[in-house]
Amino acid sequence: MKYANGKSREFFQIGVSGNKTGISVYILGLKDKKYLAQTYGKKLGKASVTGYCIRFKALKDINIDTLGAAIRYGLAAQNEKGKLTK
């Protein structure tokens, strides 16, 4: 993660958070904030998709293969980004 002042630090790429309303999966570092919703939104099932977050109540409510594809995309996008900057 890079800050405006030029400093950087390690930060997670994929995060999972359980809360009162269900589960949130965060896929950070994507250039296009609409990509997740446009590419995976309708295929996920009962989930809301924002720029970096996929939210759902329970695993039974979503297509786990589609969630896996979204996560793999996020990891691949970060790996490509890292290769370009190194």
Domain boundaries, the chain: 14-85
- The residue among 56, 35, 59, 36 whose CA lies nearest residue 46 is 56
| Residue-level pLDDT at 6 | 85
Q: How far apart are CA 2 and CA 9, in angstroms?
A: 7
| Residue-level pLDDT at 1 | 64
Strand order in the sheet with 47-49: 14-19, 22-27, 53-56, 47-49
Average pLDDT, the chain: 87
pTM summary value:
0.79
| Residue-level pLDDT at 84 | 40
Q: How far apart are CA 19 and CA 16, in angstroms?
A: 10
Confidence tier at 4 by pLDDT (50, 70, 90): confident
Q: How far apart are CA 21 and CA 75, in angstroms?
A: 26
DSSP-H helix ranges across the chain? 35-44, 64-85
Question: What's the rounded mean pLDDT across residues 29-40?
Answer: 91
| Residue-level pLDDT at 82 | 54
